[in-house]
Amino acid sequence: MTNERLPDFLKRGIIDTVKTHEVRQILKKFCLNTVCEAARCPNKSECYSKNIATFLIMGSFCTRNCRFCNISSQIPEPINNEEPHKVALAIKSLNLNYAVITSVTRDDLYDGGAFHFAKTVNEIKKINPDVKIEVLTPDFKGIKSSIDTVIKAKPDVFNHNIETVPSLYKKARPQADYKRSLDVLKYVKNNSNILTKTGLMIGLGETIDELIDVFKDLVDINCDIVTIGQYIAPSKHHLPVEKYYQLNEYDELIQIAEKIGIKHPIFSPLTRSSYKAYEIFSQN
């Protein structure tokens, strides 16, 4: 565990403007959750000021208990069948041109919530036909029929986060499996023309050699976009930060990743899965 103070480049001020207030009012009007709030994203104010939000569907409670995540692990709420339509209406109200849809993990559902994901994508397309859509999904326990359900809805980007290196899975996300997550991304790539994307946190105790091995695995499955950002502990009850990476180290990691064959490495201290997602998509 590091005793370093949070570096200045990781500190974000609170932006409270008419625009951020409007975004909160729209989300409240449609009774929608965002990962921006639930995961205490440091970029929340910046994104809200640009009319951007990442929608968190299928409730606010997760069936898994990852030790880095701020989302509560409790018995989840029943699925709200009106939610896909409300998300589509909120996207229209926000005048988005790119929407990111993520969810809590719902291992209690027979398909892991894949049908609800697909329904949400389809509703967005119906009401906002020009909007590009990125889904950030759980692993669906690796069940191919569930992944197929989301593929058939034809999102523009299929994102599933690796989160960390294999050696830290038992500590950080004990109910997940590294190979299973790789296989989800590989299956999407091999069975669609959808862009694939994944993300990792650094600062949990991984080594550079371990990151290199992950990069190689991601090149092997032809993953299109890889994001990396600094892990910041949401509270003292979560996993502690083992290291704060310095700015120059991100440049070094980008060089390593590109040399290995990562096509689009998006690495910076405050990079998160959906941060500047439209800008990244536009480069592909």
- The CATH number of the domain holding residue 48 is 3.20.20.70
Range of the domain at 155: 12-282
Instruction: Establish if 151 belongs to a structural domain.
Output: yes
Q: List strand residue ranges (DSSP E) for the chain, in order.
A: 33-34, 54-57, 98-103, 132-136, 157-159, 195-202, 225-230, 264-267
Please report whether residue 7 resides in a domain.
Answer: no
- State the total domains in the chain: 1
In a domain, 235, yes or no: yes
Q: What are phi and psi of 85, to 5 degrees?
A: -70, -40
Predicted local distance difference test score (pLDDT) of residue 28? 79
Q: What is the pLDDT at residue 181?
A: 97
In a domain, 3, yes or no: no
134 located within any domain: yes
CA distance 170 to 118: 31
DSSP state of 71: S
Q: Does residue 253 sit within a domain?
A: yes
Does residue 200 belong to any structural domain of this protein?
yes
Half-sphere exposure of residue 101, counting CA atoms within 13 Å on the CB side? 35
Assessment of whether the complete model's pTM goes beyond 0.75: yes
Domain assignment present for 254:
yes
Report residues of the chain scoring pLDDT below 50: 36-39, 41, 43-44
Residues 253-257: contacts with CB under 8 Å, at least 24 apart:
253/202, 253/208, 253/211, 253/228, 256/208, 256/211, 256/212, 256/215, 257/215, 257/226
Return the ∠ at Cα 107 (arms to 200 and 39), rounded to 5°.
40
The model's pLDDT over 162-220, given as tens digits with 9 standing for 90+, comes to: 999 999 999 999 889 999 999 999 999 999 999 999 999 999 999 999 999 999 999 99
**What pLDDT is recorded for position 36?**
47
**What pLDDT was estimated at residue 117?**
97
Can you give the pLDDT at residue 63?
A: 86
How high is the pLDDT of residue 39? 41
Cβ(197)–Cβ(134) below 8 Å: yes
CA pair distance 61, 39, nearest whole angstrom = 12
